[in-house]
């Protein structure tokens, strides 16, 4: 199996589509059969042309934190679907200890990472982080349910 995925390959693993597909490329997947310890890294380019910036915030555009969380959740969903769970859809069930450290601006590139910390099917817990230029901008514990 490949360890990186293009946008077209990503669409094989998660159901999200434009404008809500918030991953542009998966740069690494390290999946193991035990699931715990599996990890992935992905990229999201923050386009200055994104319609969200017309309202968030005019004159001071900032990428919404909730969309950073969603990007991290999609990174986790790709990881779970990439394993032996292709027939199941990972659904975000809970967000815990979310922290936003720095704002994300148009033109930034988010580097997203997720590590699976607990797994008992159908439940998965992962630690997700988002970076811009190697600086931590957000992190959260994400809990998903495989449906």
Quick: pLDDT tens for 72-95. 999 999 999 887 656 788 899 999
Q: What is the largest CA-CA distance in the chain?
A: 48
Query: Which pLDDT score, from 0 to 100, does residue 85 have?
Result: 59
- Does pTM top 0.85 for this prediction? yes
pLDDT digits (tens, 9 = 90+) for 18-37: 999 999 999 999 999 889 99
Q: Where are the domains of the chain?
A: 7-146
CATH 2.60.40.420 for the 7-146 domain, yes or no: no
Contact 131, 110 (CB under 8 A): yes
- Quick one: CA torsion of 6, 13, 96, 108, rounded to 10 degrees? 20
Query: Which of the following is catalytic: 16, 56, 85, 145?
Result: 56
Residue 85 appears among annotated catalytic residues: no
């Amino acid at each position: 199996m490949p360890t990186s995925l293009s946008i077209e390959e990503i669409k094989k693993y998660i159901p999200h589509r434009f404008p809500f597909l918030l991953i542009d490329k998966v740069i690494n997947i390290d999946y193991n059969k035990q699931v715990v310890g599996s990890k992935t890294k992905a990229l999201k380019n923050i386009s200055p042309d994104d319609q969200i910036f017309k309202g968030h915030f005019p004159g001071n555009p900032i990428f919404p934190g909730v969309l950073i969380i969603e990007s991290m959740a999609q990174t986790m969903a790709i990881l779970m679907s990439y394993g032996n769970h292709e027939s199941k859809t990972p659904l975000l069930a809970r967000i815990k200890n979310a922290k936003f450290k720095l704002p994300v601006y148009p033109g930034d590139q988010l580097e997203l990472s997720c590590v699976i910390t607990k797994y008992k099917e159908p439940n998965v817990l992962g630690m997700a982080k988002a970076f811009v230029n190697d600086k931590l901008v957000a992190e959260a514990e994400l809990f998903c349910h495989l449906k």
